[in-house]
């Protein structure tokens, strides 16, 4: 990476021009996986990573701390490093406690410490603080304009999750009436929240994030009700394990109907779910308090109740009075939410905001690759999970370097790949 500072006289500040082989947008688990795989294939790989923070995994770490999530959902073999057993070996070597949950998911503490070690071992530089503003492609290279300057790259990897929060229409009547009355789950910050003791909290949504918030708010003395529009879905993972291998993916890749293929991926995720161990935790009293679960129930309307709180009118003709409403209603993934990418997307077919990428996860003729849920068309419904991060990093590394990483992390020349599925 070569950085050339340029003085902009009419602005009185210094912008930067960066020339690099590969630019990665996003320093979360997916961006980290891409960087580690590329470094494994070529220790001297020229990488530039940009993010809103100058620390790796900053947003991921913040979200887990805010919701006080102590354990990951993915099994211990799913993580950003090329060697699938690296995290298991790390936990054993460092004597970290195990979660003792089905499929052995790692604790958040162990996962974070592991990532810190592999970042150091790979000698990855901190991300540059920058946000993308526009991009141009001549099909061979990229010019990326950011909030901090210009980046010229041979390859661009989009490792951030483009999404829009799902906000139910009934919330419009109470948004802005009282500070702290209604929050999206991503904004709930339990460690820095005022005392919840005696507060009535309603959590909208039957997924894992809402379940974590419900349990942890109850531990802080809140009276919590979960409202879910359908019965709670119990699954060990976001998708069935068959979607991580040929059992389901062979038929998925064989389907030539792109619309049906995307719909199949949506159906496979089938909305939010929680593992069985979490359901058991929700149904056990915490400090003498029980979590109320109203499933197959929808909120029809809401009215503020000055000076504080609100009343929610339910589809069961019941009313709930509460002090706070937390929306664990999920997000909608869409590349179209990235306005800076629109000139590129004009040439790329999409369905429900998901691009129809080839097997190398490349956007059409452009040297731009996607990870996360944006890779759903090629990887299937688990593309957004840690398994998907590893799969995407492997494919993109092969496409960029021409090298294939073995299960032990060793690199060797790859054979030509069929990228037309």
Report whether pLDDT(339) > 60: yes
Boundary of a domain, candidates 311, 329, 347: 329
> What is the distance between the alpha carbons of residues 47 and 286, in angstroms, rounded to a whole number?
48
What is the sign of the dihedral through the CA atoms of 400, 401, 407 and 409? negative
- Is residue 345 located within the same domain as residue 293? no
- Is residue 26 located within the same domain as residue 98? yes
Report whether pLDDT(296) > 60: yes
Cβ atoms of residues 27 and 55 within 8 Å: yes
**Coil, strand, or helix at residue 418?**
coil
In a domain, 93, yes or no: yes
In a domain, 262, yes or no: no
- Is residue 314 located within the same domain as residue 381? no
- Is residue 75 located within the same domain as residue 191? no
> What is the distance between the alpha carbons of residues 18 and 4, in angstroms, rounded to a whole number?
6
- Is residue 34 located within the same domain as residue 114? yes
Boundary of a domain, candidates 309, 329, 349: 329
Percent of the chain with pLDDT over 90: 83
In a domain, 60, yes or no: yes
- Is residue 183 located within the same domain as residue 123? no
In a domain, 389, yes or no: yes
> What is the distance between the alpha carbons of residues 82 and 118, in angstroms, rounded to a whole number?
10
Helices marked H in 94-169: 108-121
pLDDT attached to residue 357: 96
pLDDT attached to residue 14: 47
Boundary of a domain, candidates 329, 351, 372: 329
In a domain, 386, yes or no: yes
Report whether pLDDT(393) > 90: yes
> What is the distance between the alpha carbons of residues 27 and 35, in angstroms, rounded to a whole number?
9
In a domain, 388, yes or no: yes
In a domain, 46, yes or no: yes
- Is residue 107 located within the same domain as residue 26? yes
pLDDT attached to residue 409: 62
- Is residue 194 located within the same domain as residue 280? yes
Report whether pLDDT(90) > 70: yes
- Is residue 186 located within the same domain as residue 307? yes
Query: What DSSP letter does each residue of 55-66 carry, written as one string?
Result: STTHHHHHHHHH
Confidence label for 413 from pLDDT (cuts 50, 70 and 90)? low
> What is the distance between the alpha carbons of residues 369 and 367, in angstroms, rounded to a whole number?
7
Three-class SS of 379-420: HCCCCCCHHHHHHHHHHHHHHHHCEEECCCCCEEECCCCCCC
Percent of the chain with pLDDT over 70: 93
pLDDT attached to residue 414: 62
For the stretch 192-214, pLDDT in tens is 998 899 999 999 999 999 999 99
Confidence label for 6 from pLDDT (cuts 50, 70 and 90)? very low
The encoded tokens of residue 128 equal 């540059």
pLDDT, average across residues 77-90: 97
- Is residue 25 located within the same domain as residue 156? yes
- Is residue 344 located within the same domain as residue 203? no
For the stretch 245-287, pLDDT in tens is 999 999 999 999 999 999 999 999 888 999 999 999 999 999 8
pLDDT attached to residue 417: 43
CATH number, domain with residue 37: 3.50.50.60
Each residue of 25-60: b (16+ CB within 10 Å) or e? Answer: bbbbbbbbbbbbbbbbbeeebebbbbbeeeebbebb
Confidence label for 335 from pLDDT (cuts 50, 70 and 90)? confident
Each residue of 397-409: b (16+ CB within 10 Å) or e? Answer: bbbbbebbbeeee
Cβ atoms of residues 142 and 154 within 8 Å: yes
Q: How far is C-alpha 160 from the chain's CA centre?
A: 8
Q: Containing domain of residue 205, as a range?
A: 167-233+271-329
- Is residue 135 located within the same domain as residue 32? yes
Q: Please state, rounded to an integer, the average pLDDT across all residues of the chain.
A: 92
pLDDT, average across residues 363-388: 96
Number of folded domains that form the chain:
2
Report whether pLDDT(415) > 60: no
For the stretch 51-69, pLDDT in tens is 999 999 999 999 999 999 9
In a domain, 363, yes or no: yes
């Amino acid at each position: 990476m070569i950085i050339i500072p340029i003085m902009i006289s009419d602005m009185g500040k210094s912008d930067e021009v960066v020339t690099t082989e590969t630019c990665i947008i996003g320093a979360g688990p997916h961006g980290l996986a891409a960087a580690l795989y590329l470094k494994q294939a070529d220790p001297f790989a020229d990488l530039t990573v940009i993010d809103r923070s100058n620390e790796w995994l900053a947003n991921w770490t913040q979200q887990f701390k805010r919701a006080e999530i102590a354990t990951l959902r993915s099994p211990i073999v799913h993580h950003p490093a090329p060697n699938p057993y690296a995290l298991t070996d790390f936990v054993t070597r460092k004597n970290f406690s195990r979660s003792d949950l089905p499929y052995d998911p790692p604790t958040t503490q162990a996962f974070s410490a592991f990532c810190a070690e592999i970042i150091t071992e790979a000698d990855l530089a901190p991300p540059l603080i920058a946000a993308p503003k526009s991009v141009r492609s001549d099909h061979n290279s990229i010019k990326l304009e950011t909030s901090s300057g210009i980046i010229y790259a041979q390859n661009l990897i989009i490792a951030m999750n483009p999404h829009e929060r799902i906000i139910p229409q009934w919330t419009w009547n109470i948004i802005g009436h009282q500070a702290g009355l209604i929050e999206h789950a991503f904004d709930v910050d339990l460690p820095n929240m005022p005392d919840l003791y005696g507060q009535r909290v309603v959590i909208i949504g039957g997924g894992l994030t809402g379940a974590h918030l419900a349990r942890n708010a109850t531990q802080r003395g809140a009276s919590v009700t979960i409202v879910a529009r359908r019965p709670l879905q119990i699954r060990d993972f976001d998708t069935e394990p068959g979607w991580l291998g040929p059992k389901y993916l062979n038929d998925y890749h064989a389907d030539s109907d792109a619309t049906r293929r995307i719909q199949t991926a949506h159906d496979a995720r089938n909305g939010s779910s929680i593992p069985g161990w979490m359901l058991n935790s929700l149904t056990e009293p915490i400090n003498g308090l029980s979590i109320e679960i109203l499933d197959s129930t929808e909120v029809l309307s809401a009215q503020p109740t000055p000076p504080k709180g609100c009343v929610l009118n339910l589809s069961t003709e019941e009313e709930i009075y509460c002090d706070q409403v937390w929306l664990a209603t999920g997000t909608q993934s869409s590349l179209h939410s990235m306005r800076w990418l629109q000139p590129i997307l004009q040439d790329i077919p999409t369905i429900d905001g998901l691009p129809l990428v080839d097997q190398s996860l490349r956007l059409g003729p452009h040297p731009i690759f996607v990870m996360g849920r944006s890779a759903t068309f090629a990887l299937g419904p688990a593309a957004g999970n840690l398994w998907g991060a590893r799969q995407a990093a492997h494919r993109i590394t092969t496409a960029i370097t021409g090298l294939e990483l073995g299960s032990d992390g060793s690199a060797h020349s790859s054979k030509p790949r069929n990228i037309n599925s």
